[in-house]
Chain A
């Protein structure tokens, strides 16, 4: 077997193990499906009643933003999963087996694609019920979903790295809250950024979460001319800009995480 096939094969075995856990721990699955529904309804009705988006409806605008936020938050799951594994003896078992060095990480990040996919399906159905629609074709829409999953995958590697650094699975929730909350709010996810104060506006314009939401809006045909009232290249070329970020995150955090995994001893 080649090294790559080896890694993917072992990664699949680990991913299967993680998926069995999602299946068995029913409250996890419940959280996976309930929280996106809650977000869509909460923002759709509460913010939607007072925010006016020129050229489109708020709910059309909102969905891509919620998608972007949810998949980024989904990476917390990856981090917590790694932190939990590191805390338990199971990581010693894995590290003493002749499996590919990166397989635990490959499997973990891969199984979280499944987790994010479930969220996206549930949110899409909820969105359709409250008046969101895809105004393009199937291919473009799938492209939008693909970009969301790719971005989530890259963030998963960041959180996997963080998950191995923290001392407990609980710490990861606090850490991610401090970073992911501002990251997903200082963006065009829930409100247009045109009226942000200048510094925040610049941050929001170059925030990859903004470009992701913008790209997904394009893919679903949920755009309006007001979204392009900016000089920022990132928002005029959101797909390329988002892909660049995905590439950078993967190039930096895949090797970093694999190295950390090899070094980290079980903390028990």
Chain B
């Protein structure tokens, strides 16, 4: 459904895309994962005909995006990073306008607008100008706008960046439902959990290049080993806990000073966990949480690129994002 080959886009000396090859089969979700500036948005802009590549080729729904941009536009829906809705129009007026511009006709545009407002639980807010909407409501409306013409191929560019955890879960549900109906989706994200939750197939990119490809499970297996994760009570506990983990874990121990999370890769599973607990018990370190888990995509990314994706996260994701991660992490801890 989507196929690119050797896509290159340069801005001056910087290659936003440096020979990207992607294949997304019909009815699947591809997660394009990478930190800010990795080239995710550039790839989406090329595939949605907003930008021409310097070289390479791209096909969407069987049509060439460079040669037939008009045809491609008939078959795609785009939901971007910045909720692209008109703040002075109501939710209904926004969707109705998009329907008219897809040439659905007057009646069909209106019906479809109401239908989508219902679907995204915006029916009550549907007749209010969207500037009164919360961030999550705007994102939902933006996603609804991408669905107006029930397109075969959907491009979702960081659909949940900056959303609070609850809105994010709502968005995830909406995206899953779409694919059930047969849509093909290219989803970009800098959240590992998001790709893990939604994508059939994941392409990790950095500096415009693919650095890994596979299902979430395959990517995790590539790294092998489980992760032991502990949370200590006091900042002063971190150093001692780190040294204990370092003796028992393979490779380096990752420390998040703020959340007082320590993570290390282990080989022996539960026996190592028991040993860690025994040793910590012999010290004054307060243990808030402990767990053994399979590697997350965070770990995958760290291993592949040598840096954590989120350290380059833009400011606006900020606080919400941190909480979101903490919540989801807790669920993953065994």
Interface size class of A (residues with CB under 8 A): 20 to 34
Contact of B101 among A89, A94, A266 (CB under 8 A): A94
Report A249-268 CB contacts with B as 1/0, cut-off 8 Å. 00000000000000001101
Instruction: Give every chain A residue within 8 A of B80 (Cβ-Cβ).
Output: 89, 92-93
Instruction: Give every chain B residue within 8 A of A16 (Cβ-Cβ).
Output: 97
- The answer to whether B78 touches A17 (Cβ under 8 A) is no
Is there a chain B Cβ closer than 8 Å to A10's Cβ?
Answer: yes
Give CA–CA (A1, B81) in the complex, Å: 33
Give CA–CA (A24, B90) in the complex, Å: 10
Report B35-53 CB contacts with A as 1/0, cut-off 8 Å. 0000000000100111100
Q: Which residue of A lies closest to B78 (CB)?
A: A96
Give CA–CA (A24, B45) in the complex, Å: 32
Instruction: Give every chain B residue within 8 A of A265 (Cβ-Cβ).
Output: 45, 50-51
- The answer to whether B86 touches A92 (Cβ under 8 A) is no
Is there a chain B Cβ closer than 8 Å to A90's Cβ?
Answer: yes
Instruction: Give every chain B residue within 8 A of A96 (Cβ-Cβ).
Output: 48-50, 73, 76, 78
- The answer to whether A97 touches B48 (Cβ under 8 A) is no
- The answer to whether A99 touches B45 (Cβ under 8 A) is no
Is there a chain A Cβ closer than 8 Å to B98's Cβ?
Answer: yes
B14 to chain A, nearest CB (A): 15
B213 to chain A, nearest CB (A): 26
Instruction: Give every chain B residue within 8 A of A94 (Cβ-Cβ).
Output: 101
Is there a chain A Cβ closer than 8 Å to B259's Cβ?
Answer: no
Q: Give the contacts of A228-268 with B (CB-CB under 8 A).
A: 265-266, 268
Is there a chain A Cβ closer than 8 Å to B23's Cβ?
Answer: no
B86 to chain A, nearest CB (A): 6
- The answer to whether A97 touches B73 (Cβ under 8 A) is yes
Instruction: Give every chain B residue within 8 A of A91 (Cβ-Cβ).
Output: 84
B305 to chain A, nearest CB (A): 26
Q: What are 14 contact pairs spanning A and B, CB under 8 A?
A: A13-B97, A13-B100, A16-B97, A17-B86, A17-B97, A21-B88, A88-B84, A90-B84, A91-B84, A96-B48, A97-B101, A97-B102, A98-B103, A99-B102
Q: Which 10 A-B pairs have the closest CB atoms?
A: A89-B84, A89-B82, A93-B84, A98-B73, A96-B78, A21-B88, A99-B101, A13-B100, A98-B74, A97-B101
| B interface residues (Cβ-Cβ under 8 A, vs A) | 45, 48-51, 70, 73-74, 76, 78, 80-86, 88-89, 93, 97-98, 100-103, 129, 145
Known: A1-B103, A24-B88. 19 other contacts (CB 8 A): A10-B101, A17-B97, A21-B86, A21-B88, A21-B89, A89-B80, A89-B82, A90-B86, A92-B45, A93-B78, A93-B98, A93-B145, A94-B101, A96-B76, A96-B78, A97-B102, A98-B70, A98-B74, A98-B102
| A interface residues (Cβ-Cβ under 8 A, vs B) | 1, 9-10, 13, 16-17, 20-21, 24-25, 88-99, 103, 265-266, 268
